[in-house]
Structures are given as structure tokens and as C-alpha cells.
Structure 1
């Protein structure tokens, strides 16, 4: 539904001959039809530039953007203003903003009617459509209120209703929950997921909040310095050795300092999450198993978790118990801290200060 290929955006500070700032660097992204796709990263990673390039609010320096089979970059032309074909294509892409962008002088209903007015619908048709959308987002009784009379969550619901006015198949969300409190955030995320299912919407959202990815995303990508450094379905990422996103979504720590003991990280999903695998391991092999840390949650309707355990003995002495864990459907990865004589551990990927910082910020 959404594909970017070689997408690059370079800004110039101080005019055409000024210093070049690369916001997007050869970004390839594919969002499947009907999925909720999250792009996560720190400020300055390029997330906002990416989402604004998807609907050509920002013109890419190079590369292509295709939405619903239509190459938007081919419609951009050379002038600063969008042509008729690009405006028509944009009308099929809804956009939800971080700070709502509602017109304070218009009522809730008038704000929702605005894009329909631009599209040339009659007053009666605009009113009918706006009423339907406000009912859909749970604000039918607030149609005559003004934005100043609404809570932050209610304002965002109006923004979502307005984004759906032209019946788009794609909804873009630019940090839509970052200005909201946790309870309101959960409510808005639930609404986005419901709309995704009811209307068949494809949702691309950017965020710096791990809970957003954990709550509603089918797939996710990590951005850093204008590049996508990791992407995939959330369930696949959780089973990927060294995944930064998996470690940030389900952080576990502890142990690993004694080369005479083996520390491994376990990832379990679905049915495996409900089985007493660790107690079976201890009974079957008559060994003491120490649980150093664990994190369990529900992702995309499935129970998912990570656990760090410690087994007695060196890694090479625990091949059979580790094989048992894998036979139970768990993904097993050795925690980093090999001793001088220990065999090499599987590659754990690059260091992860950006995502670690995000996870730390989430717990504040």
C-alpha cells in the first residue's frame, strides 16, 4: 500500500549553497495493505521528514513514493505548488497531527467538514458525513462545541474524524499521542486500531513511544540518522537475534558476569507463553534455574515475553538443556559476556544507545 524506494531528503541551511543536512538517506520502506506500521526513533532521526514525504508535503530530493499503486513523486512536477493530480492523490491520504491543528473559530463539526468543503460537497452532504464521522470517533454529542471546550483526547478524536472525511485508504499519524496523558493515549490507540479493522485502513504512524508499537503495531521500523536500521513484523523482530527493537520493547538484564554459569535470553510467544517450560526444564535435568529478569505483555492480541535465566555450568555444558528450550518453541539467545575460554556468542547486532534511551524515557 505504501512503498518508498531510495527516498532521500536533503535540506540546505542558509540557502542553496549552504550546508547540506541529510534528513532521509536512501530509505526503503514497505507498508502492506491493512496493517498498522510504526516508525520509531529519537528526535532528529528523520521520522517526521519521512511521513511528510509520503504524502509529498515535503518534496523528496530523490527516490520515489508509491501509495495505493500510484507514484506520487511522478505527480509532483517541478513547481512549488501541488498540481491538480497530486492534490487529488493527497485527498485519499488522511493525516493526523501531534498538536491537532484545529481551527479555533470553527465548531467541531465545521472542523470535520473543512476538507469536504474543499472537495466541493454540498452543505447537506458535508453535515451528514461529518455527523457520521463524529459518531464513529465517539463525539457525536460534541458537534457544536468549539476546540477550546474539548480535552486533548477529544481534540485528537476530532483530528482523526477530519482525517477520515475524504474516505482515505491510508492514514498517517505524526506523533498523534505524544501530547496526551497515558490513559488518553491508550484510548486513542484503541480507536486507531478499531478504525484499522472496521474500515480496512492502512496506518503509518511515527512515534518515540515504545508502548505505541507494543499496543497496536503489526510491523515496525527503527530509524537513526535518516536511515532505517531495522524493520519487520513485531513478532519476527522479537525472534531476531540482537534485535534492538525487541530489547527495547521487552528489556531484561542482570547476570552474565560469571563464565562458570550460562546466561541466556528466552523469547516466547503464543501458546509457549502459557506453558511451565522453566519448571519442566528444572525437573527434567535436575538443575537450579535462576530467573534474572522477565517482561511479558500482549502484542497484536498475542501474549509475548522475554526472560533472562541463568543455568549452572559453562555454555558448552548446557547444550542439551538449551536444546530442550528450543524444542518447546522458545527462541534462545546467549546473553553477552563470554569468558576468555568460552566459544563465540552469536552476533548481537550493533550497539543500541538510541533505543536504550527510548526505553529509559518510556519508564519515566
Structure 2
């Protein structure tokens, strides 16, 4: 009996090794993110293997395990990309950062790019005009300005005509400022919602007839903060959470029209969304000016002054290599079967899994250690802690 169990366990190990090799080969060949596949599917299969080996009889267990492995292998997507010929894509927020890089990237591979910018005479717009091909067109587009959105729509419609617009990439976004949710001025919450959410809705509604005509792609650049709580990001995360749900519902609404919807959830990348150090200082002063006296007293000057260091901290830990995001947006636009969700960047998939599937106290302790935005306590908590020690 013991010999039979040993043989059965050995067979499971051999099958697992063989299956893992075949899966990794197919994932690499088709440029599927191995980390996503490993967490979402390979982990459940490992648990199934343990169940089949330890609970079920050898014949039934092996049969069930082999069927599950075969089904998973067959479901791994094969990377088939569409041609870029004749495909027009509108990108918002191309003055700098990710939108600027994405406009160049898509232009280089032959996409007809409409690059929406806040200032057509600005430095970023002038650089795009200088280095890009004649296919790229600059569009004056403030996503919070209904008149500019309508003018942009009329301009694009006159050019694409019956072909329609193949893709919209909602990239324009603002962070505002990082601080405890209680400290953030209401103006920061409003700005984040206006740009990151309401602006996306306005642009989508205006351009949707062109997108439906082409049976194209709607792509939103959300954030890991859009489905995972991160300390200090109350305003930004709330707007990205609204954006994420909007994207999810639009995927269902647009399915009947043949329009495919994707959401990109990057982790920390170095873009201009953090603003300059001067901007950070002005926001810091705005917080101080808008705090009620008792709130200012509870938090203390030392705690509030430490907010200024967050700009340097965020810039330091963010990755300057934007290529993972660019590649995922390109796949969302041009793959025959795009994914609904993309998670480019370090731990952009694992951290949300930790929040969703583990006990909340596990994630809270992880977030406290990993995303701690302050190394000191507010003054009232320091005094309370000191009094407790004296008692």
C-alpha cells in the first residue's frame, strides 16, 4: 500500500514537471505574462493536485488532474496581432510622461495617432511634432473642457470619416497630492474626479459613435490604486476606482457592438503625474492653509512638514522604464483577443491578490510596512503613547 502511494506521488510529480514545462514554453512563445498565469491558474492547479493525490483514489485523481491540466493548456491564449494599417487611435494626455511616450511608440509602428494635449504650443507638443511622422496629429484636448472635446471630435470625425476611430486610450490623469485623507483639501478630490473619471466619461460619450463604427478598442489607464487601498492616495484611488468600474461596465455594454474594452493597472512608474517639487510645496502650503486649528494641532507641525518628503520618495521608488505599460497598451489595441485587465510593473498583480485573497489583517500589515508614507506619528498620538508608557 505504501509502495502504491509512493508510485502515485512520483507520477504526480512527473506529470506536474512535464505540464509546467509545456505551459512555460507556450506562455513565453505567446508573450503571456507568466506571473499572472502562475497566480491565477497554476496555483489552483497545484491545490487540485494535492487534493487529487491525497483525497481521491489514484485512478480518479489522476484522470481529474490530467483533464484539468489539458483544459488549462488549451485555454492559454495564442498571440495573434492585427495589422496597424488604417487604424486611428486617440490618446489623451500626451504633453508628457506615459501619453507622450505612447504617442511616439504607436506612431513608430504605423498607427494613425491623434495625440490630445493640453497645450499645442507647449514643449511636449512641439517635440511630438518634431520627432514623429506625418501620421501623428496634435489635438487640443483638455478632458475637462466640453467645448474642446466637441471640437476634437469634429476634427477627428472629418478625417476618419466612414472608417471610424479604432481606439481610444484614456491616459490623461492627475494625482494631486499624497496625504492622509482627512488632510487633503476638497479641491484635490474634485480635481482627481474631474480629470481621472468625469473627463474619461465625457470623452468616451463624445467619441463612441466613431468607435462603434470601427468596432474598435476602448483602453483606460487606471492604477493599482484603483482596486487596492494604498495609504495616502484617498483622492487619487477613489477616482481610479470609479474609472475601473466604469471600464468594467462599459465592457459589458459595448460587447453587443463588437467594441472590446481593456483596463491597464500599472504599478509605480516615473511620469509627470507626481508634478514638480515646487508644485508639491505649493500643495503642501494649500493643505496648511485649509486645515482647521484643531486638526492642525492634533497632527502637529512635524508630521505635516514630513509631507514635503513624499515627492522625493515617490520619484525614487518609481520605475523609469515605461516599456511594460507601452507593450500592454499595444496588445490591448492590436491583439485579436485582448485581455480585459493588464498589470504591468513590479508586483502590480501580486499586491492586489494579497488584498483580495488573504485575511485583511495580512494585507493591512503588509501595506503599513511597504507603503508607509510617514515615519512619525501625529503629535496627539505621540503624546498618548508617551502617557501610556508613564502609566
Q: Same fold (TM over 0.5)?
A: no
Q: Flag the structure with higher helix content.
A: 2
Compute the TM-score of the two structures, normalised by the length of structure 2: 0.27
RCO higher in structure (CA 8 A, sep ≥6): 1
Query: Higher strand proportion, which one?
Result: 1
Normalising to structure 1: TM-score of the pair? Answer: 0.28
